[in-house]
Amino acid sequence: MAEAMYDYVIVGAGSAGCVLAARLSEDPDVSVLLLEAGPPDVNDNIHVPLGYLKLTGTEVDWGYSTAPEPHCNGRRITLPRGRVLGGSSSVNAMVYIRGNRRDYDDWGVSGWAWDDLFPYFLKAEDNERGASDWHAVGGPLPVSDQRSGNKITPAFVEAGVEAGLARNEDFNGAEQDGVGMYQVTQRGGMRASAAVAYLHPAMERPNLTVMPYMHVDRILFDGTRAVGVEASQLGQAQELRAQREVILCGGAYNSPKLLMLSGVGPAEHLTMREVEVLLDQPAVGENLSDHTAAYSVWTTPEPESLLLALEPAALEEFTATQTGPFASNLAESGGFARVGDGAEAPDVQIHVAPIQIVDEGTKDPEAHGVWVSPCLLTPSSRGSVRLASKDPTAKPIIRNAFYEDGADMTQMVDALRLVEEICAQPAFKPYCAERFTAPGGESDDDFRAHAAATTYEIYHPVGTCAIGSVVDADLRVNGLEALRVVDASVMPTVPRGNTNAPTIAIAERASDLIRGNPAPDGAAA
């Protein structure tokens, strides 16, 4: 078995892993190894924004799904996850949202309040609108306005205003509430994944080694100190040693999975799976939460949807100017609203895509249409990640437990009613001519049945290695040495918004913690 030694071994080249690899290797005196189970990010469908529609179920996706969800008609819900350089940031919808100040303050963990993280959102950012109290330029992560030119998604914004919601030009500014167009992590109409933004510019450094197709099977320990990992590449097992630290960046499903495969997790469960227990840590894999989402779909007579991508003119336009349907991130517009009585911040987010989604996206649309999807920003239900077997290649058992807390279903019914109200407004009516996927009637039971039939997870899993239970405030795994988790799994609860920018900000701050650097300047706005 070959063996090699590095200062830091990072597991997973996703949103967090790319940031860490780039930041830690800025110091030429340290050696950094970045291990990624998937391939290099060479597929054009990663980089041409609309292309990600074609990536689910391919070699760049882990191919996970939930266990049968009891309150969703027993459906196994598809859970796409990037398995490629860039991780999920190579396959995501590119919406740039930081969340609400309240999210981070409510975590109640020293060092992770909004005022602590805001300078790191700025450090990461390169916003094409320029610098302001709320935004920065010059960071690695490009943030841009929409370039698809589609007419359906701006019409939703007008309809939201007609329905009484505020118009919001910047969801990452002073107010989060309201309707508007989303900014996206793109540059010049091309996807800016964490790999493109952080890793590619650092790849040539002699102190950074990147190994794709390298599946990490377990963490190696000397007593309670992590000293490396055991991994396999093209069937060849290897031990890769870390002098300073092993850092897990496998994401909210695979980081807890890897801890459990390595004997760190709920002892009873590990024993059942015949894994030798190193540390009984009941919180590993618990507390899974995500933005529970449902959707309605309309057919539209207007020839305006992303079906236009099939016309030769669309490809010609994208090739010439990187605009038009191929530049679309799908979820182009939407907004934040409050449906709960006395809600102190938005509790619902809406994503609007100018396309007819058929059979949960498994079939290509045949007609022009629009998809409107509300999700719950502060769901109460919690799920879990568990091992199916001690075989490292086995998929984990993932239970989202959607609607286990009935309050979530009540809120979803309210959210779907809000969508109905907006879509009935004059500005949007022309695009909602015919129901395609909709509640069967007007009663709450009809709306509950519709939610059960259409609910999916909106790709923002967090909480399975949470700060405060699994890791400490410096993201070190409690009870062990030289082992951290840095990815979306450390968020104790899911922020109000899409999770890529928050994961990147967390990784930026973690890099400074690990390097012993002071926080960047940046007064909290």
Ligand X SMILES: Cc1cc2nc3c(=O)[nH]c(=O)nc-3n(C[C@H](O)[C@H](O)[C@H](O)COP(=O)(O)OP(=O)(O)OC[C@H]3O[C@@H](n4cnc5c(N)ncnc54)[C@H](O)[C@@H]3O)c2cc1C
Catalytic residue positions, numbered: 460
Size of interface with ligand X, in residues (CB under 6 A): 39
The one-letter amino acid at 490: V
CB of 396 to ligand X, least distance (A): 10
Q: Which residue has the tokens 């030009």?
A: 169
| Residues 43 and 222: beta-carbon distance below 8 Å | no
Question: Which residue number, 43 or 92, has a Cβ lying nearer to ligand X?
Answer: 92
Question: Which residue number, 438 or 462, has a Cβ lying nearer to ligand X?
Answer: 462
Both tokens of residue 350?
């809406």
Among 32, 38, 293, 508, binds ligand X (CB under 6 A): 38
Binding mask 74-93 for ligand X (x = CB under 6 A): ------xxxx---xxx-xxx
Enumerate residues 238-257 that contact ligand X by CB under 6 A.
Answer: 249-251, 254
Q: How far apart are CA 359 and CA 375, in angstroms?
A: 19
Nearest to 416 by CA among 392, 435, 401: 435
CB of 435 to ligand X, least distance (A): 26
Question: Which residue number, 210 or 297, has a Cβ lying nearer to ligand X?
Answer: 210
Question: Is 99 an interacting residue with respect to ligand X (CB under 6 A)?
Answer: no
Question: Which residue number, 163 or 387, has a Cβ lying nearer to ligand X?
Answer: 387
Question: Which residue number, 103 or 414, has a Cβ lying nearer to ligand X?
Answer: 103
CB of 453 to ligand X, least distance (A): 20
Binding mask 270-299 for ligand X (x = CB under 6 A): ------------------------------
Question: Which residue number, 16 or 48, has a Cβ lying nearer to ligand X?
Answer: 16
Question: Which residue number, 432 or 483, has a Cβ lying nearer to ligand X?
Answer: 483
Residue 135, classified by CB atoms within 10 Å of its CB into exposed (0-12), middle (13-18) or buried (19+), is buried
Q: How far apart are CA 472 and CA 115, in angstroms?
A: 19
Binding mask 162-191 for ligand X (x = CB under 6 A): ------------------------------
Question: Is 127 an interacting residue with respect to ligand X (CB under 6 A)?
Answer: no
Enumerate residues 473-512 that contact ligand X by CB under 6 A.
Answer: 487-488, 498-501, 503
Binding mask 54-73 for ligand X (x = CB under 6 A): --------------------
Among 15, 183, 381, 511, binds ligand X (CB under 6 A): 15
Among 6, 8, 10, 13, binds ligand X (CB under 6 A): 13
Q: Cα separations (Å) of 72 from 67, 171, 411, 456?
A: 11, 31, 15, 9
126: part of which helix (H) or strand (E)? strand 125-127
Stretch that binds ligand X, among 36-44, 108-116, 357-365, 395-403 (CB under 6 A): 36-44
| Residues 88 and 250: beta-carbon distance below 8 Å | no
Question: Which residue number, 79 or 279, has a Cβ lying nearer to ligand X?
Answer: 79
Q: How far apart are CA 419 and CA 77, in angstroms?
A: 22
Question: Is 129 an interacting residue with respect to ligand X (CB under 6 A)?
Answer: no
Question: Is 95 an interacting residue with respect to ligand X (CB under 6 A)?
Answer: yes
Stretch that binds ligand X, among 34-42, 277-285, 393-401, 466-474 (CB under 6 A): 34-42
Question: Is 10 an interacting residue with respect to ligand X (CB under 6 A)?
Answer: no
Nearest to 511 by CA among 24, 12, 136, 30: 24
Question: Is 125 an interacting residue with respect to ligand X (CB under 6 A)?
Answer: no
Among 6, 9, 10, 12, binds ligand X (CB under 6 A): 12
| Residues 293 and 456: beta-carbon distance below 8 Å | yes
Question: Is 258 an interacting residue with respect to ligand X (CB under 6 A)?
Answer: yes
Both tokens of residue 421?
């109200």
Q: How far apart are CA 260 and CA 278, in angstroms?
A: 9
Question: Which residue number, 95 or 161, has a Cβ lying nearer to ligand X?
Answer: 95
CB of 13 to ligand X, least distance (A): 5
Question: Which residue number, 53 or 423, has a Cβ lying nearer to ligand X?
Answer: 53
CB of 293 to ligand X, least distance (A): 11
Q: Cα separations (Å) of 416 from 13, 295, 300, 381?
A: 36, 8, 19, 18
| Residues 233 and 217: beta-carbon distance below 8 Å | no
Q: How far apart are CA 500 and CA 495, in angstroms?
A: 11
Phi, psi of 296 (to 5 degrees): -125, 150
Stretch that binds ligand X, among 14-22, 64-72, 296-304, 411-419 (CB under 6 A): 14-22
Phi, psi of 378 (to 5 degrees): -130, 60
CB of 150 to ligand X, least distance (A): 16
Question: Is 216 an interacting residue with respect to ligand X (CB under 6 A)?
Answer: yes
Q: How far apart are CA 94 and CA 500, in angstroms?
A: 8
Longest Cα pair distance anywhere in the chain, in angstroms?
68
Q: Where are the beta strands (DSSP E) in 338-451?
A: 348-353, 369-376, 384-386, 397-399, 434-437
Q: Which residue is nearest to ligand X (CB)?
A: 14
Question: Is 459 an interacting residue with respect to ligand X (CB under 6 A)?
Answer: yes
CB of 451 to ligand X, least distance (A): 20
Enumerate residues 326-345 that contact ligand X by CB under 6 A.
Answer: none
| Residues 463 and 489: beta-carbon distance below 8 Å | yes
| Residues 29 and 205: beta-carbon distance below 8 Å | no
Could you tell me if residue 291 is left (phi over 0), alpha (psi between -120 and 50 degrees) or otherwise beta? beta
246: part of which helix (H) or strand (E)? strand 236-248
| Residues 156 and 333: beta-carbon distance below 8 Å | yes
DSSP 209-237: EEETTEEEEEEEEETTEEEEEEEEETTEE
**Site residues (CB under 6 A) for ligand X?**
11-17, 35-38, 80-83, 87-89, 91-95, 215-216, 249-251, 254, 258, 459-460, 487-488, 498-501, 503
